[in-house]
Amino acid sequence: MADKKTILKTTARVIATLVVVAIAGVLAWFAWQHYVYAPWTRDARVQADVINIAPEVSGTVTRVAVADDSYVHAGDLLFKIQPIRFQHRIQEARANLESARARRAYARANARRLERLPPGGVSTQDLQQAQSNAQEAVAAVAQYQAQLAQAQQDLDWATVTAPATGYVTHLQLDEGDYATEGTSALTIVDVETFRVIGYFEETKLANLAVGDPVDIELMAGDTHLNGHVASIGRGIAIDNFAPGERNLPNVNPVFQWVRLAQRVPVTIVFDKRPATLPLSVGLTATVRVRPDQDDDHDTMETTAPGALRWNDMRGTQLEDKPAR
């Protein structure tokens, strides 16, 4: 009797142990699938088009119409450069143009007069010289017209306006400063281009496609937003492609046995930008793609080549490859 109880206890313990091990194995499998293959990542950043504003002409700044972190609309005044120098150039160019037109009229009249003289009335050299002077006068008029147009353009460039709607940041300009042509004076973050760039491991790319809905969780304010996949990066840098001696590939002789999955940038756009949370470039986010809930994007997936899932696209490429 005691032996039977001992056997039952031992069997129960073995069964309990096996059940626990089986549950642990199932949980480990789900955890592996989630962390290795599920299309989500905590390595995501908020990005936007960042426009560096640099003047096209140099000069003293007479007015700065914006402040750091201020909101501007496309076409709003940013700053002005002293216009007197450019106004004088316009007057000078107009005067030169009028003088060139007068010389052109005289050269043309002189050439026509010599052409009407009877044979022997003028030497061939003098006639050719007059015709050449007329052509040079025409070219001079065109040259001064271009100078006038450039002077007017420089005057317009002395007034710098916003090329896009967004926020002014990194303002490095005060009234009285000397602005140098081509040197960045401030930056505008285009609010219409806010997006999230998620860096997904290559093992997860097979489970996402362009158009898939995405849950976006910003670390700032623990905010949850919705978006969708807009594009998938088609290339990342490879160290072995760096040029070496005699422009040959510089191949690393050391091969790591532990192979880490490469990360590929995936662009995610907001379905609706948050109304209360101000977005900033560089904010951290966690993104989760929901590939099984993309019914609204069926049309996009069938028409856009970039919307093909990686497995489908690879299959298509293999089918298109001619048989040997």
The pLDDT score that the predictor gives to residue 170 is 93
Q: Are residue 208 and residue 228 in the same domain, yes or no?
A: yes
Q: Looking at the structure, do residues 159 and 274 belong to the same domain, yes or no?
A: no
Report if residue 81 sits inside a domain: yes
- Of the two residues 233 and 12, the one the predictor is more confident about is 233
Helices (H), the chain: 2-32, 84-116, 124-157, 298-303, 310-320
> What are the residues whose beta carbons fall under 8 Å from the beta carbon of 240, sequence distance 6 or more?
249, 250, 251, 252
Tell me whether residue 233 is in a domain: yes
Using the 3D structure, point to which of 183, 202, 231 is the last residue of a domain. 183
Tokens found for residue 242: 């760096």
Is residue 79 assigned to a domain?
A: yes
Q: Cβ distance 279 to 197 under 8 Å? A: no
Q: What percent of the chain has pLDDT over 90?
A: 51
Assign residue 222 the CATH number of its domain: 2.40.30.170
**What is the structure's pLDDT at 36?**
57
pLDDT value at 322 more than 50:
no
Q: Do 47 and 195 belong together in one domain?
A: yes
Flag whether 309 is in a domain: no
Contact 122, 114 (CB under 8 A): yes
Identify which has the larger pLDDT, 79 or 118: 79
User: Pairing state of beta strands 178-179 and 166-169?
Assistant: unpaired
82 and 64 in contact (C-beta within 8 Å)? no
Report pLDDT for 57.
96
- Locate 18 and state its tokens: 């096996």
CA distance 311 to 209: 10
Whether residues 218 and 179 fall in one domain? no
Is 219 part of a structural domain of the chain?
yes
Q: What are phi and psi of 196, to 5 degrees?
A: -120, 135
User: In this structure, are 179 and 59 located in the same domain?
Assistant: yes
Query: Which domain range does residue 137 map to?
Result: 55-183
261's CB contacts (< 8 A; 6+ apart) are 201, 202, 203
Considering the domain architecture, whether residues 233 and 178 belong to the same structural domain is answered as no
Which of 79, 84, 261 minimizes the C-alpha distance to 155? 84
Which of 163, 183, 203 delimits the end of a domain? 183
If one counts the domains in the chain, the total is: 2
Same domain, 236 and 152: no
- Asked which of 64-68, 89-93, 278-282, 308-312 is least confident by mean pLDDT, the reply is 308-312
Q: How far is residue 265 from each of residues 268, 270, 300, measured CA to CA in Å?
A: 10, 16, 20
Task: Express each pLDDT in 56-110 by its tens digit.
Answer: 999 999 999 999 999 999 999 999 999 999 999 999 999 999 999 999 999 999 8
Residues 143, 159, single domain; the answer is: yes
3-class DSSP assignment, residue 140: helix
Q: 288 in a domain, yes or no?
A: yes
Express each pLDDT in 201-230 by its tens digit.
Answer: 888 888 888 999 999 998 876 778 899 999
Same structural domain, 164 and 59: yes
**Residue 230 to residue 228: CA distance in whole angstroms:** 6
User: Which helix (H) or strand (E) segment is 160 a member of?
Assistant: strand 159-161
The Cα 184–Cα 93 span in angstroms is: 29
Say if residue 176 is in the same domain as residue 232: no
Residue 48 lies in a domain: yes
Residue 232's pLDDT is what?
92
Closest to 309 measured CA to CA, from 199, 212, 197: 212
Does the pTM of the predicted model rise above 0.75?
Answer: no
Residue 303's pLDDT band, with cuts at 50, 70 and 90, is: very low
63, 93: one domain: yes
- Where residue 18 falls among pLDDT bands split at 50, 70, 90? confident
Of 62, 55, 114, 111, whose CA–CA distance to 84 is shortest? 62
Q: Is the pLDDT of residue 297 over 70?
A: no
In a domain, 116, yes or no: yes
